[in-house]
């Protein structure tokens, strides 16, 4: 019996019509595809996009737009299709996150406190060695850095949170503490190369990995004051005194930042009453013009009813005063508070011995 004739294999299906267009569009560079997209938007819309691009990017895209000739409709459609697909694959989560974090921290903590945290968030993205120190016990960190150059120690402490930095400072040899604090107070930013080198050294020591590069604003008198304020009673004064031997102006600046006028609210009633006995009435009136309401109420509470009522009336009737006058009055009161604290009569900021 004759074998039945074999059925011929069906011919391969022709490629989709869109395939050549997709291939042609894919062959174009990203700059060319961007140029096609902008040309389809119109002048005003294209201008809005170009405003958000760097000068070099604008130049490259502009040249590509000028050179565009004979672009087929299928090329344009494919570029638009690819662009739409890319946009749809993205979400808004993470877009503008830096600005969101900045605003949220400023609202929650205020501009000054937020600034330091924002700097640390920024640097933590690419520094692994320094970030690792935050998870170590302060004494262990002190052992690691105690034989390093004081400038390196200063950068490390300026990077860490004040509470942890204070514990590390307390664990360092007494002979170098004042020098380290001076270096922290006089830090004016850190070069990216120096920070990268320091991060690399620490990271290799703990994990053996390479470090990234970044820069941030570290140090300054506020950073030094924050660290000293977190020290236990007695240590702060000794370091300030040591700094004053070589730079009294710096010592005074740091001391002024450690305890500000509104911190007087931390005084107990007995301490507040003792301080108020040393303050002239006109000086107190000026100082309270720039004080927060809780501190005002604390002061009124520690005066006689008659004196408090008179002071309230004087504040209400007192016209505008210069900020410089208010600050001078507050500084004078703080100087009195420090003298009383040094004499052991009052305790500032919860430091010192309890009264019995």
Domain ranges of the chain: 20-75, 99-237, 259-350
Buried b (16+ CB within 10 A) or exposed e, 279-303: beeebbbbbbbebeeebbebbbebb
**Residues in the chain, total:** 356
- Please indicate whether the domains covering 99-237 and 259-350 agree at the CATH topology level: yes
Q: Which CATH class is domain 259-350?
A: mainly alpha
Q: Rounded to two decimals, what is the model's pTM?
A: 0.38
pLDDT tens for the 356 residues of the chain, in order: 445 444 444 444 444 545 565 666 567 788 888 888 888 877 778 788 877 776 667 777 787 887 777 778 888 888 888 888 777 676 555 555 666 666 777 776 677 666 666 665 554 444 456 776 777 778 888 887 888 888 888 888 888 888 888 889 988 988 889 999 998 888 877 766 667 777 777 766 554 333 333 334 556 777 787 777 677 656 777 888 888 888 888 888 887 777 778 888 888 899 899 999 989 989 999 989 888 888 899 999 999 999 999 999 988 888 888 888 888 888 888 888 878 887 888 876 544 444 33
CA distance 23 to 27: 6
- Asked if 168 and 141 count as a contact pair (C-beta separation under 8 A), the reply is yes
Kindly indicate whether the domain formed by 99-237 is annotated with CATH number 1.10.1060.10: no
- Asked if 151 and 194 count as a contact pair (C-beta separation under 8 A), the reply is no
């Amino acid at each position: 019996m004759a074998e039945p004739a074999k059925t011929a294999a069906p011919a391969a299906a022709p490629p989709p019509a869109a395939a050549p267009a997709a291939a042609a569009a894919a062959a174009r560079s990203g700059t060319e595809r961007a140029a096609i997209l902008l040309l389809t938007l119109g002048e005003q819309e294209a201008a809005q996009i170009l405003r958000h691009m760097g000068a070099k990017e604008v130049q490259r895209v502009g040249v590509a737009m000028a050179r565009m000739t004979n672009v087929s409709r299928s090329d344009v459609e494919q570029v638009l299709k690819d662009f739409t697909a890319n946009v749809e694959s993205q979400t808004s989560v993470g877009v503008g996150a830096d600005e969101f974090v900045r605003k949220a921290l400023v609202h929650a903590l205020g501009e000054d406190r937020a600034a330091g945290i924002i700097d640390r968030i920024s640097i933590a993205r690419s520094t692994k060695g320094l970030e690792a120190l935050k998870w170590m016990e302060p004494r262990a960190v002190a052992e690691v850095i105690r034989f390093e150059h004081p400038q390196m120690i200063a950068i490390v402490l300026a990077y860490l949170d004040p509470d942890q930095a204070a514990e590390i400072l307390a664990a360092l040899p007494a002979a170098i503490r004042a020098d380290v604090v001076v270096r922290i107070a006089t830090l004016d930013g850190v070069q990216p190369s120096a920070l990268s080198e320091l991060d690399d050294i620490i990271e290799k020591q703990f994990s053996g990995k390479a470090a990234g590069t970044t820069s941030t604003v570290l140090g300054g008198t506020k950073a030094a004051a924050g660290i000293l304020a977190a020290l236990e009673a007695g240590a702060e004064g000794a370091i300030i005194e040591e700094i004053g031997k070589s730079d009294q102006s710096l010592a005074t600046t740091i001391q002024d930042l450690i305890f500000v006028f509104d911190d007087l609210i931390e005084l107990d009633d007995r301490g507040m009453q003792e301080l108020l006995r040393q303050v002239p009435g006109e000086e107190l009136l000026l100082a309270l013009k720039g004080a927060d309401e809780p501190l005002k109420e604390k002061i009124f509470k520690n005066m006689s009813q008659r004196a408090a009522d008179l002071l309230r009336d004087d504040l209400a009737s007192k016209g505008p005063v210069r900020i410089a006058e208010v600050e001078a009055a507050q500084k004078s009161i703080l100087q009195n508070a420090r003298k009383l604290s040094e004499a052991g009569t009052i305790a500032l900021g919860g430091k010192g011995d309890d009264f019995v």
